[in-house]
Amino acid sequence: MLRKITLALASVGLLAGLTACGSSDAQTNDKADGPLKVAVNPVPHGEILEYVKKNLADKAGLKLEIVSFSDYVQPNTALKEGQVTANYFQHVPYMEEFSKSKGFAMTFVAPVHLEPLGVYSRKVKDLRSAPQGGKVAVPNDPANFGRSLKLLADNGLITLKPNAPVTATERDIASNPKGLKFTPVKAAQLPRTLDEVDLSVINGNYALATKLNPAKDALALEKAEGNPYANGIVTLPGKKDDPRVKKLVDLLRGPEVKKFIQDKYQGSVLPAA
């Protein structure tokens, strides 16, 4: 019995220690003079922030800590739980849809860059050659699903109903002359579908991460002008005036980062500013 009590007390102590550590981390993360923790996808967001960290942050008096995640869910979860103060991976339509579905508010502080959504294929050389009844893989989140339909409509494969929303679905398709069949897939998995489908609509960051070159390999690519899908810095409403967040935004939208994006990505990633 004594041994059980000792083990129980030890367990309580361990839990208390873990809770204390978590609380300490959150408090450190909230300190104005502490490091600014930012959740990112590795490419290109992490690469861009690494450039800022190595070349610009110290001169600006900004301590920057980069936390990488490979999907589109964990960066927002980390933000909600206070593990990070900001994230940099998403556009406004995705943020709004995520906020609505998960029930917590976020603030889009400023756009930084656009990763043009592209249509790729290993089976056809141009969109006109897409077969009747062809299989098309698209992102499975509502914002990027609708974005994919718009890209296909802009390139004449389908038409959308007037006033189709940003989160358009197959119900918003007015005509589909080729009878294309849409398969929603997690965005990170889309490059793996290229051998299985006729066309795959792939987010720019995942295209780059799998050595696709959007500027050269895409059969169709989004245009930057008037595009609402620029990725930018997102934080919680109470943190939008954090001096560290403002300082990071200034750096990301400055001429040095703009040149870095243009030189490194050669049109596959476009500066928003």
Q: Between β-strands 220-221 and 159-160, what pairing exists: parallel, antiparallel or unpaired?
A: unpaired
Contact 167, 145 (CB under 8 A): yes
Domains, the chain, ranges and CATH?
27-116+228-271 (3.40.190.10), 118-221 (3.40.190.10)
pLDDT in tens, 112-131: 999 999 999 999 999 999 99
Question: 132 φ, ψ to 5°?
Answer: -60, 130
The amino acid sitting at 48 is I
What token pair was written down for 249? 């935004």
Residue 244: enclosing H or E segment and its boundaries? helix 243-252
Please determine, for residue 24, whether its predicted confidence score (pLDDT) is greater than 60.
Answer: no
Instruction: Identify residue 138 by its one-letter amino acid code.
Output: V
Mean pLDDT of the chain: 89
CB-based burial label for 71 (10 Å; 0-12, 13-18, 19+): middle
pLDDT at 20 over 50: no
Is the pLDDT at 30 greater than 50, yes or no? Answer: yes
Q: What tens digit of pLDDT does each residue of 89-102 get?
A: 999 999 999 999 99
> Is beta strand 159-160 parallel, antiparallel or unpaired with respect to 86-90?
unpaired
Beta bridge partners of 133: none
pLDDT at 273: 66
Which residue has 């030890």 as its token pair?
A: 10
pTM above 0.85, yes or no: no
How many helical (H) and strand (E) elements, i.e. helices and strands, does the chain have?
10, 13
The token duo for 194 is 């290229």
**What does the block give as tokens for 179?**
């009878």
- Does pLDDT of 33 surpass 90? no
Hey, what are 203's tokens?
């987010």
Tell me if 141 sits within 8 A of 73, measured CB to CB. Answer: no
3-state helix, strand, coil in the chain (%, to 5): 45, 20, 35
Going 38 to 40 to 45 to 49, the CA torsion angle's sign is positive
Find the farthest-apart pair of alpha carbons in the chain and give their distance in angstroms, rounded: 77
Task: Provide the token pair at 254.
Answer: 């400055």
Q: What is the pLDDT of residues 214-246, one digit of tens each?
A: 999 999 999 887 888 999 999 999 999 999 999
pLDDT at 29 over 80: no
Residue 153 tokens read as 């409509």
